[in-house]
Amino acid sequence: MLDSLKKLVPELGFSNVRVKDPQNVEKAVRTMMKDAQHKLQVIADFDWTLSKYSEDGNLCNTTHSVLGESKRMPEFYRKETKRLKEHYMPIEFDPSKTREEKIPKMIEWWSKNHALLKSCDLTKPQISTMVSESRARLRDGCKEFFHQLHTVEIPLLIFSAGLGDIISETIKQRATFYPENMKIVANFLEFDEMDKVIGFTGEIIHTFNKNENAVHSGDYFSNIRHRENLLLLGDTLGDLGMAKGADNIECILKIGFLNFKVEENLDVYMEHFDIVIVEDESLAVVNGLWQPVKDLQFLNFSSQALILSVHPFASCSVPWRLFLSVLLISFLAQTASLHFFGHIGFNFTPSQNVLLVHIAGGQFNQVISQARYSLGFVSQIPASTVPVPATVVPDTKGSSSGIGHQARQAGISQSLQQRQLRQ
């Protein structure tokens, strides 16, 4: 079963990747492929999940250690935060201790750290400078991950027990922060009118209370209730509680980054995460995992229609283009084991080298996702540029009422004009 999964997501065959139940993971990936981007949401921890654990043999900064190791901070702060970390961090990652045993210690750690910070006369401009001078690094591929999620409007909730201001500044400096689809829930600093730190906003968020935060009782998850598929990324067992408020989830993939003490923690990580990524400083597996979903980003679900630009046909005569297009449609039908007639309609505009495909019923995703592996020469025009033809309305039985020729021609022409303007 793992071989089948690796064909679907080659990155899951990497030597540092462990998959608990290949059959369930493949089922989840195929569900996400079927539903495409419209039903997907992502929740991710930040420190050592979206950010690197190490680089070139050196430990990378967490959001707290950006300040704790900066020479711009007072010496008493640096010494005391180091002492606190050496005392409490082993408790956080001790597999022999229960969650209930760890929680009081985490509250102690965060409370002491925050009290120290308030006494440092820290300002906003100093934070920006310290981030730029720090060893805080996003994982390789993280910038592209953010960009693709933004492109297809998939919400990303960054849920962290770290410092929200450091998270925001790190992303802005190392990648791009997209407020349209990205939300950060973390410990945010409170500033006075002179931009000086005077405390923190809200209650303390620590590693093991992410399931109790106000985001779960707010309207964030209720506003995206239709997004029933969830990709969850974390590096501690406490991160599993981040999805507590998303009570409508039908399909979830939990990915755990095991950054250190692999032998001690691998078994417990395998017990709780679907996929465990061992000592990897990239998002290659994550990007590979949602590649099949991303490839379906241009599907227009309201019309079940897809426009294809058939580039290799450009040098052919018009009759040959039409003939090759028929073969292409036939191949798409056979790929999904469909009967050709009554299930797929198409219209080809030879002068514009464009093919409009309409597939009836619920087989649309299956056709394109399977054809993806065989048709490297087919490119998609974003569905956002394609107006929904008025005559393309699936009936209640899942069949199609057809595609009107004039509506198709208008849709294709308008799509091409808009694409040319953007280029």
- pLDDT tens for each residue of 58-113: 999 999 999 999 999 999 999 999 999 999 999 988 888 888 999 999 999 999 99
Distance CA 278, CA 17 (A): 6
pLDDT computed for residue 408 by the predictor: 35
Report the candidate in 307, 49, 294 with the shortest Cα–Cα distance to residue 151: 294
pLDDT computed for residue 157 by the predictor: 96
pLDDT computed for residue 391 by the predictor: 32
pLDDT computed for residue 361 by the predictor: 43
**319's tokens:** 């009759």
Angle between helices 99-117 and 75-92 (to 10 degrees): 170
Q: Tell me the CATH class for 2-54+132-294.
A: alpha beta
pLDDT computed for residue 82 by the predictor: 93
Report the candidate in 106, 102, 256 with the shortest Cα–Cα distance to residue 187: 106
Q: Which residues are catalytic?
A: 45, 47
pLDDT computed for residue 388 by the predictor: 35
Phi, psi (rounded to 5 degrees) for 85: -65, -45
Distance CA 280, CA 272 (A): 19
pLDDT computed for residue 338 by the predictor: 41
Domain parsing of the chain, residue ranges: 2-54+132-294, 305-422
Phi, psi (rounded to 5 degrees) for 339: -80, 135
Distance CA 110, CA 107 (A): 5
Q: What is the pTM of this model?
A: 0.71
The partner residues of 256 in beta bridges, in order of sequence, read 234, 276
Report the candidate in 312, 399, 317 with the shortest Cα–Cα distance to residue 361: 399
Low-confidence ranges of the chain (pLDDT < 50): 297-314, 336-423
